[in-house]
Structure 1
Amino acid sequence: MERIDRVVSPIREKLNRRVNLEQRLQELLTAREVKAFRMEHPEVPQEVYRRSIGALHQLVEERGHCDQCPGLENCPNLMQGHQPELAMYGGYLDLRLQPCPKLIAKEKERNRKRLIKSHHIPTDILSATFSSITPNNARKPAIIAAVKFCQQFAQKRPERGLYLYGTFGVGKSRIAGAMAQKLVDHQVDSLMVYVPDFLREIKESIRDGMIQEKLDALKKATVLILDDLGAETLTPWTRDEIIGALLQYRMTEKMPTVITSNLDLDELEDHFAYSDKGGTERMKAKRLMERIRPCMDDYCVEGPNWREQG
């Protein structure tokens, strides 16, 4: 009797394993993901599913994790942030991994941060979008021009920039921030700087010898956004060697620049003509404006203060 059991037991265990595998296969075949694949591929015979039970098991298990996602950082799937899909390979079913929506969103945000750089710009300005700006007839022409500027990158880089001016709080900086966000859709990098703070930083950089490096970053950005030009305290050096050199480079290289200001172009020229030594320097101001007027389309941004009314 003992000798018979030694022969029969392995056979019985093998049969039980087959029965269990068959039961598990039938369970897996009822899973949502497997049923969807079978409907798309009715030509795949049952035997292929039987040979691929390991892949089916992993598919159902990991898709179950996705249904009750604990968050990207705690993803329990074999490859974090990826969802499995069934695919045919040499008579077997195998898994093809695709990034999940959360991973795609994270990569998009990482790409956005890589493409949008800034100096001294508030987060609410950088996160602005065109859909978040309340439209009105006074802002509409500037917004349309800003959107068209970004859309041009789908074909080629525009040579002309924008000059957005108007009183405080009408949304000039928010439009510029929305432009930076929109440019990401075209894989275009931008650099937005708050001019008064940047010039203060440049003066402090005289001691550490970093002026040229910081200036080069502004020169070479695909789209440079100078926010609140005209609000800075100018010296002949910052006007001629920093702002003048920067705009001269970008004009020569035909690289578009976007400027926001509380001053219209004539008022900006007066600002550039002011000398901290007394008197005015009209010719230097005119020379600087020749790097702005011919290179930009100017739009007056009007309307209610967005901080109060959106």
Structure 2
Amino acid sequence: MKNIGRDMNHYLDQNHRREKYADIISRVKNDPDVRRFLYTNRNELEPDAFSKGIAKLYEFFNEKEKIAKHEDNFAPGYFPRLIVNNHLIDVSYEPQPAKVAADAAAAKAALVDAAHMPKDFRNARLDNLDTAGREDALGAAMKFVNAYVANPKEYHQGFYLTGDYGIGKTYLLGAMANELAGYQIPTLILHVPTFSVEMRDAINSNTVLKRIRQVEGVPVLVFDDIGGETASPWFRDDVLGVILQYRMQERLPTFFSSNVTMQNLQENMSIGRDGQDDSLKSNRIMARIKFLAREIEVRGKDRREEIARRSTE
């Protein structure tokens, strides 16, 4: 914190304005907040606390005026408050309501790690969803949130949302994640096609295992658009399989969204290198997915088309 008293004396000495010192003292002393503080704490302050604390009183007065005039101040987002410190006058800074609200919103948003997700996803709410065709999925999401919040140490099975492109599967899962964030429960949402590319890049930097460790143990994990990634036996077995195995063993809530059914996903994953049949490995992956999640079909209108239509009206 800069020395307000030293700056004030420098200002007075260098600019030959010491004659205004008395006026400044008078304005500070007659400030309603200063008067109230001095009267309220008169029995706690030393007899010469005013003269010893003039720099602090000026700091309080000056910063308060800047805030009132919407000027740049010493601690943006914070309001000065006079306090008694060892029987002398001091200044502390408390966050303004807008600052408190902004910090709370930022902390809540940080609980949902959702890179590569649409912007409207971050404002998704379960109570704002169009329920037509989504009744089962919405009911499952609400039931999960209530059950997990009530008993976070118990195992709660996730769900696998399947349905056409654009009908709101990811949006619903994002709404659920935002709801959980309100209870300080973090969620990681992975866009699987993007994640698979990132993991292949991680081979060059030798950080594959590190990235897997970062993902596998998060409290709530969502695999978004699984089945949309380029077929890769390595990603299936050494990345996805490892993460799913860990979460199955640790009984960690895991969710999926996909444009294909579980049956179709199993068939797609059964294609190995050079077209060989990898049904055994595919079955192993799907056994983990089915343990972690139950399949729910989502219907409804294409949300993207609806949003585009509204934007042109």
TM over 0.5: yes
Deviation by residue 1:141-195 (Cα, 9 ceiling, x = unmatched): 3234334434524652553223222110011112222333333333333322211
Q: Say if 1:84 and 1:95, in contact at 8 Å, map to a contact too.
A: yes
The aligned counterpart of 1:124 is 119
Q: Determine if the alignment matches structure 1 residue 146 to structure 2 residue 141.
A: yes
In the alignment, residue 67 of structure 2 is paired with which amino acid? C
The 8 Å contact of residues 63 and 84 in structure 1, kept in 2 or not, is answered as yes
One-letter amino acid of the counterpart of residue 203, structure 1: R
Q: Cα–Cα, structure 1 residues 85 and 208, in superposed 2: closer, same or farther, change >3 Å?
A: closer
Match of 1:107?
A: 103
Question: Does the residue aligned with 2:166 lie in a helix, a strand or coil?
Answer: coil
Partners of 1:210 and 1:246 in 2: CA distance: 15
| Runs (5+) with no aligned partner, structure 1 | 1-15
Q: For the residues of structure 1 that align with 2:120 and 2:238, how far apart are their CA atoms?
A: 28
The answer for the alignment partner of 2:166 in structure 1 is 169
Other-structure match for 2:311: none
5+ unaligned residues in a row in structure 2: which ranges?
1-18, 308-313
SS at match of 1:193: strand
The letter for the 1-side match of 2:64 is R
Deviation at 1:283, TM superposition (A): 3.2
For 2:214 and 2:28, how far apart are their aligned partners in 1? 60
Which deviates more from structure 2 when the two are superposed, residues 85-94 or residues 229-238? 85-94
CA RMSD of aligned residues (A): 3.8
Partner AA of 2:96 in structure 1: C
Query: Per the alignment, in what secondary structure is the counterpart of residue 292 of structure 1?
Result: helix
Cα distance, 1:239–1:308 mapped onto 2, change above 3 Å: same
Q: TM-score, normalised by structure 1?
A: 0.72
2:64 aligned residue: 63
Residue type matched to 2:140 in 1?
A
Residue 248 of structure 2 is aligned to residue 251 of structure 1: yes
Q: Provide the residue aligned with 2:219 in structure 1.
A: 222
> Aligned to 1:241, which of 238, 243, 247?
238
User: In the aligned structure 2, how far is the partner of 1:45 from the partner of 1:255?
Assistant: 59
Residue 44 (structure 1) shift: 6.3
Query: Identity over the aligned pairs, expressed in percent?
Result: 26
Aligned to 2:152: 156
Instruction: Check conservation: 2:163, 2:259, Cα contact below 8 A.
Output: yes
For residues 121-147 of structure 1, give each alpha carbon's deviation from its aligned partner in whole angstroms, at most 9, with x where no partner exists: 134155232168542232243234334
Distance (Å, rounded) in 2 between the aligned partners of 1:204 and 1:250: 24
Q: What is the identity, as a one-letter code, of the residue corresponding to 2:136?
A: P
**Whole-angstrom distance in 2 between the partners of 1:141 and 1:64:** 56
SS in 2 for 1:221: coil
Calculate the TM-score normalised by the size of structure 2.
0.72
Write the mapping of 1:1-310 to structure 2, written as runs, cut at 5 A: 24=27, 27-29=30-32, 51=50, 58-70=59-71, 75-77=72-74, 79-87=75-83, 95-108=91-104, 110-112=106-108, 114-119=110-115, 121-124=116-119, 126-130=121-125, 133-151=128-146, 152-153=148-149, 155-157=151-153, 159=155, 160-275=157-272, 277-278=274-275, 280-310=277-307
The one-letter amino acid of 2:113's match is K
